[in-house]
Structure 1
Amino acid sequence: MAQISLDRLTGLIAFARAASLGSYTAAARAVGVSPSAVSKSVQRLELHLGLKLFSRTTRSLTLTPEGRELHQRALRLILEAEAIEQAAVAARSEPAGVLKVTVPLPIGVHIVAPALPRFRERYPKLSVDLRLGDQFVDLIREGVDVAIRVGDLEDSRLISRQLAPHTIGVFAAPGYLARRGTPQRPEDLTEHDSVNFRFQSSGQAFRWPFMRGERPLEFTPDAGIVTDNSDAVAAVIAAGGGIGITPTFVAAPYVRRGELVPLLSEFLRPRSSITALWPESRRGSPNVKAFIAHLGDVFTSPTPWDAAVMQ
């Protein structure tokens, strides 16, 4: 039987990742090598097969008809290889190796990253590859072990666990309120300067969600300052830039220091949840089990950040 060379196997992996993710740079990040290494592996594979797998432009990669046919086969190869690796991981009793985790930027910076040193003290043989960003990640295609996302997301290939409410709050600096007064109802916000958040994924401005009795009251303020980063929203508010909405885990340190004051809490509509997800193939992984258990210690009920804001 003909033997496949290590070089061609590497080329198939590079090709499958680049096709799934749409660029050599993203594929390189997924497999932990340089973009040029991925590009050269794919080029050698094309030369060996005598096929053009990608139509290349300066901005993207597009599969050729031949590339589309081979892509599905190459993906099955990767999934089988990962299944072998996960079987070996599950056979160990002690967490070890590398755990790939993807988290939205603000949750990663404020909650997950500060909790990692304690996690590694307990499991020193397990290193963490923490990837921060708001873009959608296909866990299975990118070989991610655990994702933390906002919302109740359903995918039949994934296992999920709710960690905590994703609580937002209305805040202003004490100095701003001393100058401009304190709003008593959501309708009063029209008389104030506002700071708003814009989603990076869609470019849409955040609609502020309130309740007036049983009736939802939702509007987008005419904001003087708009930014696509939650930390920037909190920084502008704390500097006296107006009234704004931001997650409680971002605002809590400011509230503890007396730099922000919660407003209109009784009118805010409950939001979604912070949820952990992991592939079915990782169900028996001691690495994933250990990390999910650690997240349970981090996301207590009530969470420290919600408790700080409520006090």
Structure 2
Amino acid sequence: MNKLLAMEVFVQVVDAGGFTRAAENMQLPKASVSTLVQSLELSLSVKLLHRTTRQVTVTSDGAAYYERCLRILSDVREAEESLSRNRASPSGRLRVDVATGVANDIIIPALPGFFERYPDIALELGCGDRPVDLIEEGVDCAIRGGTLPDSSLIARRIGVLHFVTCASPGYLAKYGRPLHPSDLAQHRCVNYFSSKTGRIMEWDFVRGDEEIQIAPPSCLAVNDSTAYISAGVAGLGMMQMPSYAIDTYLRSGQLELLLEDWHSAPLPVNVVYPQNRHLSAKVRVFVEWAADLFLTHPGFQNKAPVRQPALEKA
């Protein structure tokens, strides 16, 4: 039995909560994963996991052994990297999850520079607005906007999101322009709902000491940022979007800013990764690269966005 491989498999099973998910994450046959854990228990003469037809849970001895395995595997990887040229040139598969809009507008356009610097990394980029469980789904790190309810993750702040309210010229010609957030009650709006909870996201407005939070009437609600922009450009209603995502549409005249004397409370943007995992070289260089990318992007700075007319007139 390869003891180190068995320890890695055991850690994966505990993290994923089952043999099937662990096998998928490690790209191993499920039978091999089960055999390695059984061999490990046999060699230790200790039961590490409780197995039922519905779930797998760790025993008290297994929990203690799990913590030891984490430290041992971390030390082994650190020793290997310190003696390997892979530390200067990281390699291997790297799974990263980002929102669709961030992937399309920020990450993918900058990837040629990333691969030029790190040609031996094979990046698997999960693109979607559904929040993922990093440990259960075997994701190395993710870029997320908003508050982080999962305290088991390490978060590094890399920027902030500023939201603006806008609509298409066609919509404004038909329904008029709101002068105050309360006017949204008489308008058609496109809303965004959470893929995880189904909850419609509220709109918030701040001006000086005034703060207003509303759930505007919805003609359409979507759960994808690309579809959300398409609906606004099509004239289906007003929308509230991160400023970086609609800059091109504002400059082209497809969308126009509204309620420019109001702003929304900025949301933090973080790159996150599990705290109980050794930060491998490939994850470390991606985190540093992403931090540099966002910290130098004007759409994610800590200052409020500059409001400009929708059309640049000569």
Q: When the two structures are superposed, what TM-score results if normalisation uses the length of structure 1?
A: 0.76
Partner Cα distance (1:130, 1:164) in 2? 20
- TM-superposed CA distance for 1:97, in Å, is 1.1
Counterpart mapping for 1:1-311 below 5 A: 5-6=1-2, 8-33=3-28, 35=30, 37-45=32-40, 49=45, 51=47, 53-58=49-54, 60-88=55-83, 94-98=88-92, 100=94, 102-106=96-100, 107-132=102-127, 134-137=131-134, 144=140, 147-151=142-146, 158=154, 160=156, 162-276=157-271, 282=279, 285=281, 288-289=284-285, 292-293=288-289, 295-297=291-293, 299-303=295-299, 310=308
Flag the 1:240–1:85 CA change in 2: closer, same or farther, 3 A: farther
RMSD between aligned alpha carbons?
Answer: 3.9
Partner Cα distance (2:244, 2:19) in 1? 35
Query: Once superposed, which parts of structure 1, at least 4 consecutive aligned residues long, lie more than 4 Å away?
Result: 34-37, 43-50, 151-159, 277-283, 304-311
Partner Cα distance (1:171, 1:249) in 2? 13
- TM-superposed CA distance for 1:217, in Å, is 0.6
One-letter code aligned to 1:265: E
Partner Cα distance (1:73, 1:37) in 2? 22
| Equivalent residues of 1:99, 1:287 under 8 A apart | no
Partner Cα distance (2:243, 2:174) in 1? 24
| Equivalent residues of 2:46, 2:61 under 8 A apart | no
| Equivalent residues of 1:92, 1:286 under 8 A apart | no
Flag the 1:214–1:308 CA change in 2: closer, same or farther, 3 A: closer
| Equivalent residues of 2:159, 2:269 under 8 A apart | yes
- TM-superposed CA distance for 1:50, in Å, is 6.9
- How many residue pairs match? The answer is 300
Where in structure 1 are there 5+ consecutive unaligned residues? none
Where in structure 2 are there 5+ consecutive unaligned residues? 310-314
Question: Which range moved further: 298-307 or 191-200?
Answer: 298-307
Partner Cα distance (1:36, 1:179) in 2? 63
Partner Cα distance (2:190, 2:69) in 1? 48
Q: Give a deviation string over 1:155-193, Cα, whole Å, max 9, x none.
A: 799573x43321222222222221111112111111111
One-letter code aligned to 1:102: V
Partner Cα distance (2:240, 2:265) in 1? 13
Q: Give a deviation string over 1:97-120, Cα, whole Å, max 9, x none.
A: 137353432323431123112211
One-letter code aligned to 1:113: I
One-letter code aligned to 1:248: S
Percent identical among aligned pairs is: 24
- TM-superposed CA distance for 1:205, in Å, is 2.1
Q: When the two structures are superposed, what TM-score results if normalisation uses the length of structure 2?
A: 0.75
